């Protein structure tokens, strides 16, 4: 038991030395890379969002010409709005993201907290984009 505890202690000590030896830079970069990877995964979907939104708006305009289809037209417009909101959430996230925090002397703990917050935010953007795109594509089939 003591031998196992000693080995584990040595292992964790070695990890802490290697991860802290660079002031946590590797840890910050890894988390920043995760945030950027999520962004890069869904950013190309913005064109799809715009196309689907325009198709939905055209469909709603057509449906609105028939008084019996006004309710359907409003549902389609709501989907188009949801897509527009998802698109805008990506734009808003990009405007506020501060990658320079990595090099501006901000303490490691604050950088990590910021990057974790940004990861949660871009995960939400991704979810909103993919869900609204899926619903929109389904509606125009």
User: What tens digit of pLDDT does each residue of 53-111 get?
Assistant: 999 999 999 888 888 888 888 999 999 999 999 999 999 999 999 988 888 788 999 99
| Count helices and strands in the chain by DSSP H and E runs | 5, 0
Query: Is residue 60 assigned to a domain?
Result: yes
Q: Which structural domain, as residue segments, surrounds residue 62?
A: 24-139
Q: Which two tokens stand for residue 61?
A: 């305009």
Better pLDDT: 8 or 20:
20
Helix (H, G, I), strand (E, B) or coil at 140: coil
Domain assignment of residue 17, yes or no:
no
* Tens digit of each residue's pLDDT (9 = 90 or more) over 113-124: 999 999 999 999
CA distances from 123 to 13, 48, 76, 82 (A): 33, 18, 26, 17
What is the spatial distance between Cα 88 and Cα 56, in angstroms, rounded to a whole number? 17
In a domain? residue 8:
no
Residue 107, phi then psi, degrees to nearest 5: -55, 150
In a domain, 67, yes or no: yes
Residue 106 counted as domain residue: yes
Instruction: Name the helix (H) or strand (E) containing 14.
Output: helix 2-20
How far apart, in whole angstroms, are the C-alpha atoms of residue 55 and residue 135?
A: 13
- Length reported for the chain: 141
128 part of a folded domain: yes
Higher pLDDT, 11 or 30: 30
Task: Provide the domain count of the chain.
Answer: 1
Indicate the pTM of the whole model.
Answer: 0.78
What is residue 21's predicted lDDT score, i.e. its pLDDT? 56
> Domain for residue 4, yes or no?
no
Q: Is residue 15 a part of any domain in this protein?
A: no
Segment 5-25 mean pLDDT: 51
């Amino acid at each position: 038991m003591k031998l196992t505890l000693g080995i584990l202690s040595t292992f964790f000590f070695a990890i802490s030395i290697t991860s802290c030896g660079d002031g946590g830079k590797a840890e910050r970069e890894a988390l920043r890379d995760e945030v950027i990877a999520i962004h890069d995964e869904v950013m190309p979907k913005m064109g799809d969002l715009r196309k689907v939104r325009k198709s939905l708006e055209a469909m709603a305009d057509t449906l609105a010409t028939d008084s019996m289809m006004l309710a359907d037209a409003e549902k389609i417009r709501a989907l188009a709005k949801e897509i527009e909101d998802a698109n805008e959430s990506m734009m808003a996230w990009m405007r506020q993201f501060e990658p320079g925090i990595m090099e501006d002397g901000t303490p490691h703990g604050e950088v990590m907290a910021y990057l974790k917050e940004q990861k949660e935010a871009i995960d939400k953007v991704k979810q909103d984009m993919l869900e609204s795109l899926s619903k929109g594509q389904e509606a125009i089939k």
